[in-house]
Structure 1
Amino acid sequence: MKRRHARWLDAAGITEPSLRASYERCRQLHATFGRTYYLATLLLPAAKRPYVHSLYGFARHADEIVDNGDPASKAAEFDRWSERVLGDLDAGSSADPVCRALLHTIRTWDIPVGHIKAFLQSMRMDLTVTAYRTYADLQRYMYGSAAVIGLQMTPILEPVSDEAYPRAHALGEAFQLTNFIRDIAEDLDRDRIYLPLEDLEKFGVTRHAWQRRVVTPQIRELLAFEIERTRDIYAYAAGGIPLLADSSRLCIGTALVLYRGILDEVEKADYQVFDRRVSVPLATRLRVAGRAFLGDRPV
């Protein structure tokens, strides 16, 4: 474990060796798979960073089972893992390193176990549901897969008003909608469509046209519509940043700006999302984060 990472655990008062190793495993998952949000997390006080790594690491571990496991056995594997997690939550202890860190985090910050259960339910849906008829249907999925992540984070960010919670709910949705727009090709590879089918129909986009992976004028209009809706959600979510402890605002503001910037990059790429995975350039990420480190609020 690098010395600076060990200092973060020291600052959080996490001293037991096996628990420190569990948090380090979660940090590694976060650093590997969530680079943008990991960068923003560096703007939090050191004592809070391990808890954010725990929440992200747990979510990513579940994603890895659902998205990258053996197709013939991953449903059974996820069900076994999920049942162990739920049993560990009831028992209050776990032999699984990722779950051990999660348990410590939810006890430390009094995070409702119901959020974890809702997350697991949505992850299970990814194994059976390949499309969502309406936006309301998609929102029910996103509650467990994304909104509860924002709700879990909020106690760690120390809100000064309960109004921060619905804004955090919205920010989780905005992050996930951004991922859906960016990851269209990757999701198609898994036979999934995460944009509501009613939206495709509204713009005259058939499933066959979608699966051809050619950006037509109709698909451009569809993506422009989805981007505008997502920006509206970001605008509402941004109102929650002043409702957090001052020490948390730069982190969430930076994450919001960087994730929202993915939408700008999709537009700059002329909506070509089928043949590439657009991203905010590293120089831009470093510039935004650097300004935040110097105290310049991103939003």
Structure 2
Amino acid sequence: MNTITSSITSSSTRTDTISDSMALYNTTALKCSKLITQHYSTSFTLGIQTLNKKLHFPIYAIYGYVRYADEIVDTFHDKDRASLLARFREDTYRAIDEKISTNPVIHSFQLAVERYSIDKKLIEAFLNSMKMDLDKKEYDDNKYHEYIYGSAEVVGLMCLRVFCENDSTLYDSLEAGARSLGAAFQKVNFLRDMKSDFDERGRVYFPNINYLQFDANAKFEIENDIQKDFDAAYEAILRLPKTSRMGVYLAYIYYLKLFNKIKQSSTQTILSERIRVPDSKKIFLLVESYVKHRFNYI
């Protein structure tokens, strides 16, 4: 049984029954997070499937949690999003303190937090970035880096806690690389989603960028910054445990492919459509990544 869903053994029949029921609840909650991941992201679902099986549920738990927080600020525009996010934050900390939640997404997340000693500071940074999305439309350099840290880098660090399986020395040595990978992913998302972010939400994440005057020089500078993040992340990926290396490498390769496609696109294309990698190409990248990982060609 996966360690995140294991229950305490007891000789008492009643205790055994309670323990079995709690294990069932935990597993059901974790399966909800898995379902969320499968419905929202084929890319991350493919990546998770290549991880060692014992890591699947905790990573699903993290993805499901951050996905639903993002939905609150980006989707529920006809609702009181500030109140919903405040309640989500309150429910999160209560669940972590009490080790239980009737919200399956939050419950599965707190299981991962408990099992892998995920720092509350990472969670707070994430929730603060989500709060910024409620009313922030333009970002200066400081707010830009603060937002990327909270919305992406700390998510990478949460996952790294799982990948390192509570090996603090390994975690510390890979922390900078994990942050770079999260930053690269987020910045690629910003470029890919420039049109929808501006048209639907009035947002421009990149500092000192006028959306209506976005040109090749501005795009080139952003791409150079992203490339530095990818380069730094790659070095850390090579030092990940084998249980997680291929899954992270696959996500890296997918985003690198998307990034290269964006680099080859004009600013007019970026501002008029959402660049994507076809599902057929994702499958090819999965097979290619497996072969490279299997024969140590990464």
Q: What band does the TM-score fall into relative to the shorter chain?
A: 0.7 to 0.9
Find out whether 1:234 has 2:244 as its counterpart: no
**Which of the residues 255, 263, 266 maps onto 1:267?**
263
More helix by share: 2
Is residue 106 of structure 2 the alignment partner of residue 99 of structure 1?
yes
CA distance in structure 2 between the aligned counterparts of 1:297 and 1:282, rounded to whole angstroms? 25
More displaced stretch, 263-272 vs 145-154: 263-272
* Aligned counterpart, 1:193: 204
Task: Say if 2:72 and 2:81, in contact at 8 Å, map to a contact too.
Answer: yes
Q: 2:91 aligns with which of 81, 84, 87?
A: 84
Amino acid at match of 2:59: V
Q: Percent identity?
A: 23
Structure 2 residue matching 1:93: 3-state secondary structure: coil
**2:122–2:150 contact (8 Å) kept in structure 1:** yes
Paired letter, 2:159: M
Call closer, same or farther: CA 1:11–1:161 in 2, change over 3 Å.
closer
Distance 2:224 2:42 in 1: 25
Q: What are the within-5 Å matches in structure 2 for residues 185-224 of structure 1?
A: 185-188=195-198, 189-197=200-208, 200=209, 206-207=210-211, 209-210=212-213, 219-224=215-220
Q: Cα gap change, 1:143/1:298 in structure 2, threshold over 3 Å: closer, same or farther?
A: farther
Where 1:87 maps in the other structure, the secondary structure is helix
CA distance change for structure 1 residues 98 and 235 in 2, over 3 Å: closer, same or farther?
Answer: same
Runs (5+) with no aligned partner, structure 1: 1-9, 201-205, 211-217
1:90 & 1:51 partners in 2: Cα distance?
Answer: 18
Counterpart-to-counterpart distance in 2, 1:297 and 1:224: 33
Partner of 2:120: 113
Change (3 A) 1:36 1:264: same
Q: For the Cα contact (< 8 Å) 1:177–1:230, is it kept in 2?
A: yes
Structure 2 residue 184 is matched with structure 1 residue 178: no
Query: For 2:134, what is the secondary structure of its paired residue?
Result: coil
AA in 1 matched with 2:271: F
**Aligned equivalent of 2:281:** 284
Superposition misfits of 4+ residues, deviation over 6 angstroms: none
What letter matches 2:111 in structure 1?
H
For residues 297 and 101 of structure 2, what CA distance do their matches in structure 1 show? 39
Check conservation: 1:43, 1:292, Cα contact below 8 A.
no
- Structure 1 CA distance for aligned equivalents of residues 222 and 71 of structure 2: 26
Whole-Å separation in 2 of the counterparts to 1:239 and 1:39? 22
TM-score, normalising length from structure 2?
Answer: 0.86
Contact 1:54 1:102 in 2 (8 A): yes
The offset of 1:223, in angstroms, is: 1.4
Q: Secondary structure at the match of 1:239?
A: helix
Q: What is the root-mean-square deviation of aligned Cα atoms in Å?
A: 1.8
Query: CA–CA distance in 1 between the matches of 2:115 and 2:3?
Result: 10
Deviations along 1:10-44, whole A, 9 cap, x unmatched? 44562611111111111111112222122111110
Q: TM-score scaled by structure 1? A: 0.86
Aligned: 1:141 with 2:137:
no
How far the C-alpha of 1:240 sits from its partner, in A, is 0.6
Match of 2:9 in 1: none
Kindly state the Cα deviation for residue 296 of structure 1 after the two structures are TM-superposed.
5.1
| 1:151 aligned onto 2:168 | no
Q: How many residues align?
A: 274
Deviations 1:248-281 (A, max 9, x none): 1111111111112111111333231222111122
- The 2-side partners of 1:59 and 1:287 are apart by 28
